[in-house]
Each structure stands twice: as structure tokens, then as C-alpha cells.
A and B are shown apart, each in its own frame.
Chain A
Amino acid sequence: MSSETHELGFLRKYVFSLDHKVIGIQYGITSLSFVFVGLVLMMLMRWQIANPGEAVPIVGGLLEGVMGVPAAEGKISPDLYNMFGAMHGTIMIFLGIVPLVFGAFGNYLVPLQIGAPDMAFPKLNMFSYHLYLWGGLVMLASFLAPGGPAQAGWTSYPPLTTIIPTDGQTYWIIAMVIIITSSLLGSINVITTVIQLRAPGMTWGRLPFFVWTEFVTAFLLLLSFPPLESGAILQFVDRIFGASFFMPHDLIVSGTPMADVSGGGSPLLWQHLFWFLGHPEVYVLVLAPMGIVTEIFANNIRKPIWGYPAMVGSILTIGFLSMVVWAHHMFMTGMGSNISMFFQTTTTVISIPSVIVMTCLLLSLWGGSIRFTVPMLFAITFLPMFGIGGLTGIPMAFNSTDTVLHDSYYIIGHFHYLVAPGTLFAVFGGIYYWFPKATGRHMSVKLGHAHFWGSLVCMNLIFFPMLVQGLAGMGRRMSDGGANYSLANPSNEGVVGALSSTIMGLNVLIAWSVVALALFQLPFIFNFFYSIVAGEKVENDNPWGATTLEWQTPTPPPHGNFAEPVVVYRKAYDYSLHFKALHAQEAPEWGSVAHLPDFEPQNLPVSAETVGAPE
């Protein structure tokens, strides 16, 4: 209030900032907020599944106030369940995880790790963030649209989406086009930055693995998102102008033939366009987390990552292959067995590079002196969790076995293992790891442990039962959690394959675990905000004793990042290599973890004369 210039300064600094680090943090806070929204939707759905037909406690009245008829009497009607389901998936994937791993971590770290002053196009960067924010707001606004938000799943299959009587689906399409545009601009920025702005000496072989993962992610976003954008445009034309891109001939809805539709369209066309993005998208969700895990690993095992070239080769292979596996989501559509054969082959092949990455990380542990810091706990847990997620994918990769697994809870278990205790754990680890650089303070270790162990147990109590339920035949997307197909329903007496009370009982276990999981996020949220103001201050600019360039900056890094021009002399993970040679040197202080410098920062000259003599 007192001075207007100050206000302007604030806007420039925090809202319309051109600094990649501020933009990264904006992305981070916004996307974590969306993850929170997704979490709340999920809790409501899970409560409904465990207690079909009952009113939601505490917030039921509020629900009815906001959502109106679909939430009559505070109950989650099947329609409302569908809305929450569609929005949970959409928000988590497109507004939560992708902006988190790409927008937040990518923006903050990529320029720092390659020794660049900023992104190649700072204004474009700011613009991408604001597009993302506005796309997200449009998506949220769809909750208030006449007829409620989208209801046809995060995959938005037509013709259901076209004939569904809600404006929310149109909001969904518009929001998606905005978000996709934002991702496209972001990916152009990241690729250009990595190619053009690497510091002198930062050759491709010296790039930290995280930069590689963001680089491949950016290409996936750049090339696979546009076909979905074209699909969204077509769906828009169908909905608004009454075209028939996805409306087949002679469509009959609830017994009435669709009037005034030209027909001639194809629902399969949408599925192809959607999954052409959809599958690369799942690698977008997981590549950068692999990078984060690798960074944390190298730092906490104090030795170079084993098989760095193989890992880089693997993610490049994943990048290429992920563009040719999409129709494994469509085995059940009757595409024809030759096409299914092709896609089941590519799908099995693509699991090989993923396994190589995981194996390299696993073997890197061998002979390391592992520090079980909080980031490392999250990172090391990523391996088995991602392992379960990946291995459960294999049976679905085959046409024949997928026939029974498709659209069951097994799939839900599969991909949640990958994105929840997989991706999200890597993200948590990353937050604990880079927090000291961004804020100059440590997060509390005790609270970190509570967060980690609690989340680990709860996540498994939530997602493992889903695999079991799916194998028992429980289908996904049922608002009553399968009650209609359970033995509790008298009309199912003696029906082979009806869901037993044990299987149905798992719904209750899951619901309570969800509540516990939410409670275990409280230590994290508290820790995060409390530590920003009152966490233990870092001892120096490189508290973990790390080799990569982001740690060789002032804390927090200023505009332009580096105090001096950077020159890179070494590979990314020179830990414990020249231990002896450096023995004689005075140890730089980097905390109480060790007393000898067992790492050589990438910008430390190699030749003996210059060692220890930086200006």
C-alpha cells in the first residue's frame, strides 16, 4: 500500500518473473496444490466406494452446496462419482504430476545443472507458466459449469463425451488445449536450453542424468502432445458444430437413434489420437523421477553411477519406442490381431530399457557407502515400487492376458504403483534433496521420517489390494465399488466369479489407509512451510557434498545463477575417484558426514596444478 513501486516490484519478482528458479517454484506450488485437489477428490471417491449410498460425513452439506443435484442429500451419486473420477485423473496427470516433474523440477534445475544463466527464452517461460495456470483454472471452473465437469474419465472417450449433456466437457477440451500449448512452449524452451546453453566443457557425456531425462521428456511432450491437441480440436468441432469425427453411423443412444448427425466418424480415431499421447505421457510421468532418483543416488552412495552410458542409451530408446506402443491400451477394441501383435511386441520390448535403468541404479548401490538421508530413503524406495508397477505391466502387454485384466482394478493398481509410490516418492525425495539449495535451510529429518514411513506403508495398503481385487474380477469406474457384483447382492447367489466379502472388504481397508495417508502428509506440509522460515540453516553452499553444478552456486542462487562464468571439467558424478590425490589438500567443509573431500565438483579443474586453486 505504502509505495506503489514496491508493489510493482513484487509482481515482477513473484508473479511475472522471468527467472527460471522463480518460475520453477511457481510451477511447484501450483502443481502441488493441484495434487492436493486431486487427493481430496480421491478421498471422496474412496469413501463412497467403501460406503455405497451413504451421505459423506462432515463435508456432505458443502458438497451439495457446490455441486447441487448430483450431490443431493450430501451423497455422491453415480454421476458425481464419474465427475470426480474424470477430474481426479485429469488433474493428477495433466495439472499435477507433469507440471511438477517437468515445469517445476525441470525449470529450477536444468539451467543450473548445465551451468546456464537462465532458460533460453525467459519470456516464453513465464508465458508457459501463466498458460498452465489459466488452463488449470478453466479446468477447475468446469466444476461450476452447467451440468457439472467432465464425466467420461481422464481419457474422454467419445461418443460418450460428445453426447453427454454437460458444458463441463467443453471446458475440459478448452483447458486441455491451453495446457497442451503451455507444455509445448515449455518443451521448446527446455530442449533449446539444453542444446544451446550448456556451459563450456559441459559435453553431452558430462550432463547429469537428470538433464538427460528432462531432455527426453521434452521431446516426448513436443511430439506426442500435438496429436492429442488435434484430437481435442476435433472433439471440440464435434461438440460445438455438430460434426461427426467421432460419431459413427446409426448411433443409438438409450434406444433413440441420434437425430441430425451425419455419422461416418470413428470412436477408435479418438482412442488412437489419445493414446498416441497417452503412452508417451506415462513416460513423461516417470523419466524425470528416474533422473531425480539418480541424482539422489549418486550423492548418497558416494560413488559414480554404474552404467551411465547404458542409462542414457536406455532412456533415448524409451523415448523412441514409447511412440510406437500406444495401442496396447486398445487391445479390446477389436483392432485386429495383426495390429495387436505389433503393439504387444513393441510393448514387451520397451520394458527392457526400463529394466536396464533400474538395474544400473541397483548395481550402483554395490560397494557404495550409503547415507540414508531422507531424500535417499525416498529414492531407494522408488526401485521396488517402480519394480512392482513395471512388472504388473508385463501381463497386460500381452493381448491374451490383457483380455481379462483390461478395465479391471488390476490396471489401477499397476499404474498407481508407478505414479504414487514411484513418481511421487521421487518427487518427495527431490523436494527434500534440493530444498536446502532453494531456501538455504534444511527440512526436519524427524518429520521427514514420519512422512516417509507413513506414506510407504499406506501407499502399499492402498494399491496392493487393488491388484488383488482386479485379479478377482473387480472392474474399474464403478461408483458402488463393485457392490452390485458382490455376493452380498442376493441376485448373485451362486454366481461364479461374484465378488466375495473378503474382496469387497478390501474397499474398507483402502478407505482407511487413504485417510491415514492423508494424515501422513501433514508432517510434510508442516515441515515444508516451517522449514522455509525456521529450518536449520545450511552450513555452506553445498551441504550434501554434491558434484553437480547447481550446488556450486550461492544459496539460494541469484539472478543469472553463477557468481563466476562456469567451465566444466568433469563427468557428472566424480565421487570418491581421486580420493588419494586430494588427500593432501585441505578439505572443503561440507558438513559432518565425512571429513575428507570424496567428491570433485564438475567445475573443478582436473590438472593437478590447478586443483584447490580456484580464485
Chain B
Amino acid sequence: MSHSQHEAIPYTTEVREDTGLYNGKLGMWLFLASEVMLFGGLFSAYVFLRLGARPGEWPHGLLNIPIGTFNTLVLITSSLTVAMSWTALKLGDFQTYRKYQLVTLACAVGFLAIKSFEYYDKFTHYEVWLKAPLAAGEHPGLAGHAAAPDAEVPSVIGHVEGVGPFETLASLEEAGATSITIHPDKYHYRLTAWQQAERTMKEASMEGGSAGAEAHEGLTIELSKIARLSALVPRHSTFFACYFTLTALHALHVAGGIVAFAWLLWPGARMWREEPERYTNRIEVTGLFWHFVDLVWIFLFPTLYLL
């Protein structure tokens, strides 16, 4: 019924002379403009909050930089293969296109897999804020947290035994718990660079890695001594709120890209036989989207992991 009207719309495939564009491409550029504003809004929020953060309250170094770097490479590779696949289609070579796109999909799925691993790691780490600071000497597991045995530790970060990611102090109390057992991490973001250096020196002077072994011992803290606790989730701090919101929104885009590419690769590929040019355009437009998603990550990675 509506097909005749559909065909009447000009420039769905061919390029309009004065603009040099076909409709889909312009549409995608406009969409990307709005996406720039969307992520722009979120990046501005990040800048706004970070500038307003109290000194020492913006966590550093809690993200895994090697994994992040690897993931960046994975995404860049996928952008490359998308470009190659489009070139192959332009040359009329569907098989090569197919191979490259399989690599793209593998990269995209890989990216999400690695990201979920990172998420999981954060979900299982807690920061526990204490009502009265502990002296580092109180427990060998805290040695890694402080420069000197008598340095005060306002909070402890580490794995908590048998506690899921979204618990709060109130929910633990409600569940009838009276204490938690935490395995403190070696690294603590509240240390200044100076303290960090001192700590490293101290560790080096200790005998044969005993500190490392001790760090795995659990530290049991009564709930009554705890002011607040939170896994490294959005509730933890505005830093993690930014981290999760931005990366999750980005991951949603990656997932969208996967769906689009997979659809074009399998059920949507029928179009290649009937309207190869239109099909090639679709890959180009989806590819534009993909490059944008890639670009967002290129901004996200240094902003969240490195700065």
C-alpha cells in the first residue's frame, strides 16, 4: 500500500547534487550532533562536579588502567575493520566484508565482556568509612594503607566476605549482621603522592613480602564502628557515579551497534542482492555511528582512567 509512496521519496540512495548527501547520511550526522550534546552534557557534569569536589575526595587510581588500555585497542581495531568492510562492499566483495564484520562483532562483544569483568570487580569491592579512624598498626592488613603504623585510616577499601554489591549499612543491619570481614587492598586513593611514596619505601624495607601475605588476612569490623559503607558503585561517590553512568551509557551504544551490525550481516543482508548501493550506504551510516561510539570511548578513557 504504502510502498509506492515510499519509492517516491528522492535521495534515499542517490546523492542530492547541491548537498552531496543522501538522506540517511545526513540523518546520521544530525543524530550524532545530538549525541555530541548528550555526552557533552554528561562530560560537563563530570567537569562541574570534579571542580567542585572537596580536596582529597575525588578517588584516583581505582580503575584498572592496563585493562582499560587493552579495551581501547579492541575498540580502535573494530573501527578499523568497519572501515575495511565498507571498502570491501564498495569494491563489490561481500565475502571480505563479511570477514571484517565478524571481526568487528567479535571486538565489540569482547569489549563488553571485558567491561563487565571490570564492573564485577568494582561491585565486589567495598569502601568502609569508620566512625573513629583506625590506627594502621592495629591490624597488619592495614599496613598497606598507611605510611606509618600510627597513621590514621579513615576508611578501608577491599573485598568484603559474602556481601553482594548493593548492600548498605542499613540493609546489613536489617539482615541481622553485626560485623563484616574485609580484606583490605594494598592501594588506597586517600593517600597523597608523598604518603604513597613513603609507603612504597616502607614496604620495600620490610622483609620478604610479608606485608603482601598479611594483606590477605581478613579484618573484622563491627557494624557499630562503621559510619557508612558502599561498594564501588554509583552510591560510593560522585566519581563512581560519573564512571558508571558514562560507561554504561557508552556500553548501551556499543550494544546498539552490535545489534545493528548483526542485523545487517544476517537478516538484513538480503538487500545486498537487490539494492547493493543502498546496502553499502547502510554500512556506511552504521559505520559512522560506530566511529562515534569509538570516539566517545577515546574521550572517556583518559578522562576517567588517567586524569
Residues of A within 8 A of B (CB): 9, 12, 17-19, 116-118, 120-122, 124, 184, 187-189, 191-192, 195-197, 222-231, 233-234, 237-238, 241-245, 249, 259-260, 262, 264-266, 269, 272-273, 276, 559-560
Cβ-based interface call for B210 (8 A):
no
A272 to B34 alpha-carbon distance, docked (Å) = 18
Interface residues of chain B: helix, strand, loop or mixed (majority): helix
**Complex contact A227–B241 (CB within 8 A):** no
Cβ-based interface call for B45 (8 A):
yes
**Complex contact B41–A227 (CB within 8 A):** yes
**Complex contact A262–B230 (CB within 8 A):** yes
Question: Which residues of A are found within 8 Å of B27, using beta-carbon distances?
Answer: 120-121, 124, 188-189, 192
A224 to B34 alpha-carbon distance, docked (Å) = 8
Interface residues of B in 2-57 (CB under 8 A from A): 2, 4-6, 8-11, 16, 19, 21-23, 26-27, 30-31, 33-35, 37-42, 44-45, 48-49, 52-54, 57
Cβ-based interface call for B130 (8 A):
no
* In the complex with contacts A188-B31, A196-B21, A243-B241 CB distance below 8 A: yes
Question: Which residues of B are found within 8 Å of A19, using beta-carbon distances?
Answer: 2, 5
What distance in Å separates the Cβ of A182 from its nearest Cβ neighbour in chain B?
A: 12
A-B contact pairs, 28 of them (CB 8 A): A9-B1, A12-B1, A12-B2, A18-B5, A117-B5, A118-B8, A120-B11, A184-B31, A188-B27, A189-B27, A192-B26, A192-B27, A222-B33, A225-B37, A227-B37, A228-B41, A230-B41, A231-B41, A231-B45, A241-B233, A241-B235, A241-B244, A245-B245, A264-B57, A264-B238, A265-B49, A560-B4, A560-B5
The 10 closest A-B pairs by CB, nearest first: A230-B41, A227-B41, A243-B241, A243-B234, A226-B38, A226-B37, A242-B235, A264-B238, A241-B234, A117-B8
Residues of B within 8 A of A (CB): 1-2, 4-6, 8-11, 16, 19, 21-23, 26-27, 30-31, 33-35, 37-42, 44-45, 48-49, 52-54, 57, 168-170, 228, 230, 233-238, 240-241, 244-245, 249
Question: Which residues of A are found within 8 Å of B228, using beta-carbon distances?
Answer: 260
Question: Which residues of A are found within 8 Å of B22, using beta-carbon distances?
Answer: 196
A245 to B49 alpha-carbon distance, docked (Å) = 8
**Complex contact B26–A184 (CB within 8 A):** no
**Complex contact A227–B238 (CB within 8 A):** no
Residue among A17, A223, A226 with most chain B CB within 10 A: A226
In the complex, the chain B residue whose C-beta lies closest to that of A16 is: B2
A187 to B26 alpha-carbon distance, docked (Å) = 12
Tell me the number of A-to-B contacts counted with CB atoms below 8 Å.
166
A245 to B234 alpha-carbon distance, docked (Å) = 9
**Complex contact A18–B234 (CB within 8 A):** no
What distance in Å separates the Cβ of A556 from its nearest Cβ neighbour in chain B?
A: 15
A386 to B41 alpha-carbon distance, docked (Å) = 32
**Complex contact A195–B35 (CB within 8 A):** no
What distance in Å separates the Cβ of A264 from its nearest Cβ neighbour in chain B?
A: 4
**Complex contact A18–B2 (CB within 8 A):** yes
A272 to B19 alpha-carbon distance, docked (Å) = 35
What distance in Å separates the Cβ of B306 from its nearest Cβ neighbour in chain A?
A: 21
**Complex contact B11–A196 (CB within 8 A):** yes
* In the complex with contacts A233-B249, A234-B245, A264-B57, A226-B41 CB distance below 8 A: yes
What distance in Å separates the Cβ of B185 from its nearest Cβ neighbour in chain A?
A: 19
**Complex contact B49–A269 (CB within 8 A):** yes
Question: Which residues of B are found within 8 Å of A276, using beta-carbon distances?
Answer: 41
**Complex contact A559–B30 (CB within 8 A):** no
Question: Which residues of B are found within 8 Å of A184, using beta-carbon distances?
Answer: 31, 34
**Complex contact A269–B45 (CB within 8 A):** yes
Question: Which residues of A are found within 8 Å of B233, using beta-carbon distances?
Answer: 241
In the complex, the chain B residue whose C-beta lies closest to that of A265 is: B238
A506 to B16 alpha-carbon distance, docked (Å) = 60
Question: Which residues of B are found within 8 Å of A124, using beta-carbon distances?
Answer: 27
**Complex contact B6–A122 (CB within 8 A):** yes
